[in-house]
Amino acid sequence: MKLDGKVAIITGAASGMGQAMALLFAREGATVVVADVNEVGGQETVRRIQEEARETSGQMERAAGAEARPTYGATDGRAEFVKVDVSQADQVKRLVDSTVNNYGKLNIMVNNAGVALLGKDGKIADVAEDTWDRVIAINLKGVYLGMKYAIPPMLKQGGGVIINTASIAGLVGFPSLAAYCASKGGIVQLTKATALDYGRDNLRVNAICPGVIRTAMTETMLADRETKEGMERTTPLPRLGEPEDIARAALYLASDEASFVTGTTLVVDGGWTAQ
Ligand SMILES: NC(=O)c1ccc[n+]([C@@H]2O[C@H](COP(=O)([O-])OP(=O)(O)OC[C@H]3O[C@@H](n4cnc5c(N)ncnc54)[C@H](O)[C@@H]3O)[C@@H](O)[C@H]2O)c1
């Protein structure tokens, strides 16, 4: 159990990578607060965590006999859904406050919620102001707010871990994706600056830069066979990424195995940006 007894908030955990992180963190013993605007998906993540915990407990009981204590982390699949729009300060503050009130602490904050307004984002001269504002508000301001409110209780308790989901679009430019690239590049720099500011407070702050991962966000794009095969062909490890690839990277950064890692951007892209 790499996260035994830890309390984690994961934003954007109703779907895709956030959901995969929530399931993996719970398996590793964390209490998980699933935070998202999508209530149906968020409740589904919680249901899956609890169902998995019950199944694992049952299997262990049958395998080890009645006296063995069934384990699924110290929390037995404890998870809850909190509806939150990460671009709204009062909602993010409430999310952090209620987590600390309910569980007594906050060890891990994963700022993962994000949007790619494909079809609206584009070349900068063509990007409408409301598209720009929305992408920046959710992707970049959302990370700022998540850190702003998570850090004070972490400082009080003597440390913590923050993980921000950026993107390879924060490292290299992509055509016709100006607002998204700007938001993700901002996350990379915000992560570095924050890591410097809080290193001496035992607070680690890192970003993950996923390549193209199969989630709801990329579903339409990858439905086009040529695009999908093109991505696979041009990736040194010739496949698309899965949400679990990113969840495992997040688990590493969240765990004590990464105790000397801060201010970094962990690129998980099958080698795509190495070219
Ligand atoms: N899929 C990819 O190829 C890829 C690559 C690099 C980075 N990313 C980033 O990874 C993160 C997760 O994306 P995903 O691919 O799992 O997509 P996804 O669409 O499956 O999940 C994104 C989640 O964020 C939630 N969300 C959106 N706006 C929100 C808001 N205002 N407040 C709270 N929650 C909100 C959505 O409801 C959804 O559950 C995003 O930040 C995305 O930009 C994705």
pLDDT tens digit sequence for 200-251: 999 999 999 999 999 999 999 999 999 999 999 999 999 999 999 999 999 9
Contact 108, 46 (CB under 8 A): no
Could you tell me the pTM of the whole model? 0.97
Q: Partners of 253 in the beta sheet?
A: none
Residues belonging to the active site: 180
- Identify the helix (H) or strand (E) that includes residue 192: helix 178-198
Contact 246, 20 (CB under 8 A): yes
For the 7-268 domain, the top CATH level (class) is alpha beta
**Mean pLDDT, all residues of the chain:** 96
Q: Which residues of 215-230 are buried (b: 16+ CB within 10 A; e: fewer)?
A: bebbeeebeeeeebee
Mean pLDDT of 92-117: 98
* Region class of 235: left (phi > 0), else alpha (psi between -120 and 50), else beta: beta
Mean pLDDT of 50-56: 93
Query: Which residue has the CA at smallest separation from atom 43 of ligand 1?
Result: 114
pLDDT at 64 over 90: no
Mean pLDDT of 78-88: 98
Give DSSP secondary structure letters for 244-263.
Answer: HHHHHHHHHHHSGGGTT--S
User: What pLDDT does 69 receive?
Assistant: 57
**Helices 142-157 + 89-103 axis angle, to 10:** 30
Distance, CA of 58 to CA of 54 (rounded, Å): 6
Which two structure tokens, joined as six digits, stand for 182? 């700007």
Distance, CA of 134 to CA of 73 (rounded, Å): 38
Closest CA to 33 of 97, 90, 114, 89: 97
Contact 156, 149 (CB under 8 A): no
Length of the chain: 275
Confidence of residue 59 (pLDDT cuts 50, 70, 90): confident
Task: Locate the ligand 1 atom nearest the alpha carbon of residue 243 and give its number.
Answer: 16
Closest CA to 32 of 24, 41, 22, 42: 22
Please give the share of the chain, as a percent, with pLDDT higher than 90: 92
Distance, CA of 82 to CA of 85 (rounded, Å): 10
pLDDT at 106 over 60: yes
Q: From ligand 1's centre to the CA of 262, what distance in Å?
A: 23
Which two structure tokens, joined as six digits, stand for 183? 């938001």
Task: Locate the ligand 1 atom nearest the alpha carbon of residue 246 and give its number.
Answer: 10
pLDDT at 71 over 80: no
pLDDT at 70 over 60: no
Task: Locate the ligand 1 atom nearest the alpha carbon of residue 168 and give its number.
Answer: 6
Q: From ligand 1's centre to the CA of 137, what distance in Å?
A: 13
Give DSSP secondary structure letters for 18-52.
Answer: HHHHHHHHHHTT-EEEEEES-HHHHHHHHHHHHHH
Query: Which residue has the CA at smallest separation from atom 17 of ligand 1?
Result: 217
Query: Which residue has the CA at smallest separation from atom 40 of ligand 1?
Result: 114
